[in-house]
Structure 1
Amino acid sequence: MKETNSLGNLAIIILNYNTAGKIANQVTQLIAEGISSSIFYIIDNHSKIEDRKSLEDFSQKNNLNFIKSPENGGYAKGNNIAIAHAINDGKIVFLILNPDIEIPLKTISTLYETISNEKELLFVGPRICDKYDRNIIFSDGGILKPEKCFESDHLHYGRNVEEVNSSEKNYRIDYVNGSALMFKKETVEILGKMREDFFMYFEEAEWCYRLKQYPKYKQAILTNVVAYHEMSDKGDFYQFYMTRNRIYMCRLYQIPHKSLIKSYLYEAQKRFLGFKGNTKKNFSFFTTQVKAVLEGEFQKLNS
């Protein structure tokens, strides 16, 4: 297929942590659609040696930009490294993709055209649907509720596409999902880079939420183009960072959150003392939740 040259200013950034096979499939599909290999920036987040070597070999074979991080510093740190590399190469528009995202060229091109033509648009993303049930919406944009200690949600989550009547461009969101997030160089210049102390979860939400300080600028979800997300099971890892980082958000934006901490600790105690479910899992939930609360409340945050 003829190579697409209209995306020359774009860098597609994909962060790897032991997902070399998924990234190889993802990139192969996009190259087959006509995207130039020079657009891809693959950043390895200190994966296992075999996985990193496999991805490095694939990148060399396909002339991709391959970057090794000296440590697994989390989502934000890994992506920030790749963004800096791409800016140094003269790129001015960036698309962060999770390895489990399936995204067609049409979606990328539409996002690119939109953010390039709207000066005040700093973030844009597609509608995200379930990869295995493509009529089910995962997200039409992220919602944050600071009045409820930054309770978060995805607009239209779990609804059928045919049931949702929405405009093709929705600006009434609080963040663009980090699994398919497009932004431009001005975004970094105005807002700064993503916070690296979050490690995982809430980092893109906090980054986008900074727009509240700049009423002139906007973010949007384009519901007329789609990417497909692979749902995954949520365990202790997810629970820890979602709990800790939600408390971080409250601290950063000076939101009173004693009620949130009480609810977290009550739920942990309830699971620990309860007689239902798996005892080992209940204890794991308890220790994870308590550790997350303590770190969330007392860990020093970067200025």
Structure 2
Amino acid sequence: MQQALRNPDLSIILVNYKTPLLIIDCLHSVSNYTSGLTYEVLVVNNDPDPSGQSAVLNAFPQTRWIEMGYNSGFSRANNRGIAESTGRLVLLLNSDTLLVDNVLKRCADVLDSRSEVAAVGPMQLTREGKVHTEAYDGFSQLRRYFYIVPGSGFFKRLLHRLLPDNHYSDPNEVDWLIGSFIMTRRETIQKAGGLDENFFMYAEDVEWCWRLGKQGKILLLRDAFYVHLEYGSSTDYQERKVTHINRFKPQMHVSNLLWVRKQYGAGAYLVLIVHYLTLIPIIFGWKIAVNLLKLQNPFSELANQREFARQVGIFLRFFWKTLFNQKGFYKI
């Protein structure tokens, strides 16, 4: 059961945006499986609907409810929770997660016993209980995904050569942890800084782990698990139709481009923008040529190409702000 202590071992921070029932399920799993450490729960509310507060507090009255007053996104809400929390350890936990064992104590023990570790998290399970094998944990894995190239082995090998993965002697060490579960020390946050509040949603966890990683190792425990349902408020900001060229969710990729600019500089950011701008005439020209070869209207079936051009237009709305790394709220 949750302990009501002034200075608990762990502060668990969840962000609410239209997910009070998910939060209740998550907190039931925390309560059922967690032992051996004291903790507090802080829910930071981004949702203008007031009904979530009563639902969560009726189920878990010791929860601390913090109002942001607007949809402040992931970074700002979590930073507010961190600022108002009191635990020596801090956990960012998504509302759409479920614990399956005493993984909080396991991660806390790692941080308490290994001073060289800056942050730790477990492996993700799908709602069916399978290990989530498609989750990225390397910076270069993400960067390679941002390039839209033919699927042949040549281009894949070329990208791997240009953007190689980091390799570590510790099999659990990674570049970054997904923001649905990141546990770290308060003192590490004080040294590395909180989440970057320019990010509205997505990629803030990657950028934060980059700074946390300067304070020590980032560990992904390969034999520890939690369920990530991936069913929350984020669907409001995702494109549903995915093709090879239209693989990006616009809000996500605006944030991804901001991360590339911050971590790798203006040159790396400009290369991606030029890549996308160059692709527009290529993909239109290719499709028109295919239509002509099929003796069809050359300008038919161009919806996929138009959608890609539209998405690039969204990215370009943030071009100057991103290029000059200006402060702001990078929200579509």
TM-score (norm 2): 0.71
Residue 327 (structure 2) aligns with: 302
Output aligned runs, 1:155-166, within 5 Å.
none
Amino acid at match of 2:138: I
Bigger mean CA deviation after superposition, 115-124 or 292-301: 292-301
- Cα 1:122–1:135 change in 2 (3 A) is closer
Output aligned runs, 1:152-301, within 5 Å.
170-171=172-173, 173-211=174-212, 214=214, 217-231=216-230, 235-236=238-239, 239-252=249-262, 253-257=264-268, 258-266=270-278, 275-276=300-301, 279=303, 286-299=309-322, 301=326
Aligned pair partner of 1:96 in 92, 95, 101: 92
Q: Which has the greater radius of gyration?
A: 2
Residue 121 (structure 1) aligns with: 117
Structure 2: give runs of 5+ residues left out of the alignment: 148-167, 241-247, 288-299
Amino acid at match of 1:263: H
Cα deviation, 1:93-133, whole Å, max 9, x if unaligned, reads: 01111111112342111111101111121111101121224
2:16 and 2:41 map into 1 onto residues whose CA distance is 13
Amino acid at match of 1:206: E
Bigger mean CA deviation after superposition, 229-238 or 198-207: 229-238
1:112 and 1:68 map into 2 onto residues whose CA distance is 28
Alignment check: 8 A CA contact 2:43 2:63 kept: yes
Output aligned runs, 1:38-187, within 5 Å.
39-59=40-60, 62-86=61-85, 89=86, 91-139=87-135, 142-145=137-140, 148=143, 151=146, 170-171=172-173, 173-187=174-188
Task: Give the drift of 1:271.
Answer: 7.7
User: Cα RMSD (Å) of the superposition?
Assistant: 3.6
Alignment check: 8 A CA contact 1:123 1:182 kept: yes
Amino acid at match of 2:211: R
Q: How many matched pairs?
A: 278
Residue 18 (structure 1) aligns with: 18
If each structure's strand is expressed as a fraction of its own residues, which one has the higher value? 1
Task: Give the drift of 1:192.
Answer: 0.7
- Cα 1:292–1:183 change in 2 (3 A) is same
